[in-house]
Structure 1
Amino acid sequence: MSEATITQTSTRTRGAIALRTAQILLALLYGFSGFAKLIAQSDAVESFDRMGWGHWSMYVIGALEFSGAVALLFIPALASAAAVAYIGLMIGASTVQLTLLDPQNAFMPLVLIVPLVLIARARRDRAKDLATLVRRRA
């Protein structure tokens, strides 16, 4: 094997490890965030009260966050879809921070979009496989 081939393989391996690490870290972040909402942790309740939203919305968002974390971490065929859903959630979170809560915290959800885009793009082949399987069964 040539040195260039070894270098390319090594770079791909490091990229795959970095991507998987980001996927795990984001799944843990969203999983814990969703779980906090599902158990009505006091900070979560306070945030939703400040927004003037009902507690039902806290549970819905918590369930979406938690189920997305499970998909991102444990269901490879759904990882791309979960990442895309989180991109929408992060745009919404940033908007809520800007308009209803703390504008200085609006940038963080937008930063999380970058690794989510990379995950969605890298895992899109699995999503295509899932779509093909669903079409065949329909």
Structure 2
Amino acid sequence: MSETTAAVAAPTASVAAPAAAPSGGRRVALDTARVVLALFFGFSAVAKIMAHESAVQSFDRMGWGSGAMYTIGGLETAGAVALLVPLLAGVAAMALAGLLAGASIVQLTLLDPPNAVMPALLIAVVVLIARDRKDRTAELAALLRGLTAARRGGQ
């Protein structure tokens, strides 16, 4: 696609009619889920970043160092904040689905298998959020493509 075609195509993509918007009740439920999950991941992150005894013990049981604990805490913090930003919520939900899949596998293999159910259930919720926010994710991708094209054009 030429630069001229890209410049013409980008604006029309942003004015395309949105997919069927969720009903009022569904919208409220998904927005509530985003806030609750942001709080959940935020509290979980604080325990890791502040090296709470429970987090340290869990990472010791897995045989992982404090670096992994702080890294996962940082990822949870970024995901929690991004869930609250409408343009980033879909991408955050997809990333958190990966983090939750990892948590479920760790619970199954290294910690307490019955506890693998909770992250698996939360995956379903973040997938619903990601699906609901797919238009905003496409908007973010178009914005990033535009910025990348502008940087290439300015060099």
Matching residue within 112, 115, 119 for 1:102: 112
> Normalized against structure 1, the TM-score is what?
0.89
Distance in 1 between the 2:109 and 2:26 partners?
Answer: 37
CA-to-aligned-CA distance 1:45-93 (integer Å, 9 cap, x gap): 00000000010000000000011000001x2111111101111111111
**Does 2:28 correspond to 1:14?**
no
Matching residue within 102, 112, 131 for 1:121: 131
Percent identity for Structure 1 against Structure 2:
56
Matching residue within 35, 41, 63 for 1:52: 63
**Does 2:51 correspond to 1:40?**
yes
**Does 2:101 correspond to 1:91?**
yes
Name the SS for the 2:87 alignment partner. helix
- Structure 2 residue ranges without an equivalent (≥5): 1-20, 149-155
**Does 2:111 correspond to 1:111?**
no
- Structure 1 residue ranges without an equivalent (≥5): 1-8
Corresponding letter in the other structure for 1:81: V
> Normalized against structure 2, the TM-score is what?
0.80
Q: How many residues get paired?
A: 128
In the other structure, the counterpart of 2:14 is: none
1:68-83 equivalences under 5 Å are 68-73=79-84, 75-83=85-93
CA shift, 1:102, in A, is: 0.6
Greater Cα radius of gyration, structure 1 or 2 = 2
Distance in 2 between the 1:129 and 1:104 partners?
Answer: 39
CA shift, 1:114, in A, is: 1.2
Distance in 1 between the 2:29 and 2:136 partners?
Answer: 18
